[in-house]
Amino acid sequence: MLRMTGAAFGTLGAAVILSACSPQQKDTAAHGGTSEATPAKGTDAPIDSLTLALPSSISTLDVSREAGILNYTVAALVQESLLSISPTGRLEPGLAEKWDQLDARTYVYTLRRGAVFSDGAPVTTDDVLASIEAARDTTSGLAYAWANVASVRATGEREVTITLSSPDAAFSWTPTPGTLLISSKAFLAKHKGKVGTSQTLLLGSGPYKVTSFAADDGVQLERNDAWWGRKPALRSLKLSFIPDAGTRLVAMKSGSIDGALDLPADEAGSWTSAAEVTYTSDRSVVSLAFDTSRAPFDDPHVRKAFAYAADRPGMVAGILHGKADVATSLVSPEMWGDLLPAADTESAYAALTPYPFGLDAAKAELAESAHKDGFTVELTYPNSGPQLGTAALALAGSLKSLGITLKVKEVTLEQWIADLVPGRKPLQFLWYFPVTGDPAELTNPYLQSSATATNLAHYRNTAVDRALAAATTATGTAERGRFLLDAVKAAAADLPYLPLWWAQTATALSKDVVLEQPGPFALVGPWAARIRRTA
């Protein structure tokens, strides 16, 4: 159940997933009309204020209550974690200036000197302990990430030691903004249960402080001059929640806003006249999950028939306007950046069975199965993802000629998340936004047979299990990466999941300003501190 919560929370931001603008996109995924080949550079000229539109409201600033991507976009400007994730997805220092792994179960973090909260109080080990305690609390939505932690202790004036119950190489990603944001002990005690409301706001040590927040209206942020990092050029930032696409565009054209984050693919095109629009991979994956433990999807021929019947290039071109990539695995290629050289994963992914779209091949596969006369199956999609619904209808059209009736049904996001449990439905969408830069975030919950609470496919393959277990205790990163890649390759041959696409999202900024060092993870960090005036 634990990792699933992560999936559920990751997907809460589904309708509102943000991406950084990425003029310096290094992966081939970017083919945005206005992306540039060279890194965009800004000047140090101060920017007094900016107003940016967010496509949906958040109801609280506290990510342990509501962990959608938009919540992180705001909170990561205000609060920091022990470690940070670079825009490209690498672990970097945060409030801890260095960290060591003493043995398979013990991690030691040394706090930065001189870091202070925006109220002037220094960041101490007590604050870190209290923040971790809050994240582990039963009322916290982030508790799943800390379930394997045996103890958290202050072992020195600036030293925090975390001991695990059992070894887990993926733990190094836990004290990052996705699952830990640090506030002061006094603040957490004073506002217990009410952190992040319009009255209590947030307290953190990040580059900005919140001065006001109103759900359905916006968040006002001011620069925190006590931040330890390089002084941001932007002094005052207003994030306005403008849910209506038309209003948002008119607001941009009339100069009421200076940009917008997360533009839907079909909208982004009309923004190019008013703003600089950039696209970046958000590492999210949209996939079908087959329950391999029961009919009809226990039959590999049926799964293959679905794979041939799904016109994935057509979906990417027609439904996502080319702003996505046909997926061949749950793990998008950028997720491997920290573990393996790009060439290794590229060649491994290229060797996976491609299943090109073809109804004849699909019919041939179905004819070999035990269900050659077809069957009826339901597929639900969340109301926040209309593109999933359109894709499902396209698939239903292809499957009809095979005699398979696919009943496509829209449900609320909440309902969809509630049903995202193994055994609930024979066929499901798995729509996942990773919050770490680690492939294990996807492989462990969805491919491991022991992950009974999350493994939607009921997938069981001893070779995959062995590789994943080996990765958990592997010492070197490359070694660990190879084990994980082995698991992904072995699982792909069995097709428990049919990956459809890896998504991209669009960001529009006024031509006067630029976001430096964008990347798939830019918005889960102090992104606004990197906004500069265009050189």
Kindly list the residues in this chain that would bind other proteins in the complex (CB under 8 A): 1, 5, 8-9, 12, 57, 59-60, 62, 65-66, 138-141, 143-144, 193-199, 214-218, 240-244, 246-247, 250-251, 253-254, 256, 412-414
Residue with smaller CB distance to other proteins, 112 or 235: 235
Minimum gap (Å) between residue 158 Cβ and other proteins: 32
Encode 104-120 in three state secondary structure: CCEEEEEECCCCECCCC
User: Given the complex with other proteins, which of 454 and 461 has the nearer CB atom?
Assistant: 454
What is the rounded CA–CA span in Å between residue 465 and residue 448? 6
Closest CA to 353 of 372, 330, 374, 329: 329
Distance of closest approach, residue 272 Cβ to other proteins, in angstroms: 17
CB of 511 to other proteins, least distance (A): 18
Say if residues 218 and 241 touch (Cβ distance below 8 Å).
Answer: yes
User: Which residue lies nearer to other proteins by CB, 151 or 412?
Assistant: 412
Q: What span, in angstroms and rounded, lies between the C-alpha atoms of 385 and 11?
A: 10
Decide whether 64 or 329 has the Cβ nearer to other proteins: 64
Element (H, E) at 102: strand 96-103
Closest approach, Cβ 54 to other proteins, in A, equals: 10
Picking from 181, 213, 191, 211, the residue whose alpha carbon sits closest to that of residue 95 is 181
CB nearer to other proteins: give 66 or 262.
Answer: 66
Name the residue nearer to other proteins (CB basis): 86 or 256.
256
Q: How far is the CB of 273 from other proteins (least distance, A)?
A: 13
Residues facing residue 281 across a β-bridge: 504
CA separation, residue 47 to residues 40, 223, 444 (Å): 17, 11, 44
Distance between CA 124 and CA 114 in Å, rounded?
Answer: 10
Tokens 């998504």, residue located: 503
Q: Which is nearer to other proteins, 102 or 147 (CB)?
A: 147
Q: Which residue has the tokens 């609280």?
A: 60
The minimum distance between CB 15 and other proteins, in angstroms, equals 11
- The position carrying tokens 């607001």 is 251
Smallest separation (angstroms) from other proteins to the CB of 113: 34
Q: Name the maximum alpha-carbon separation found in the chain.
A: 71
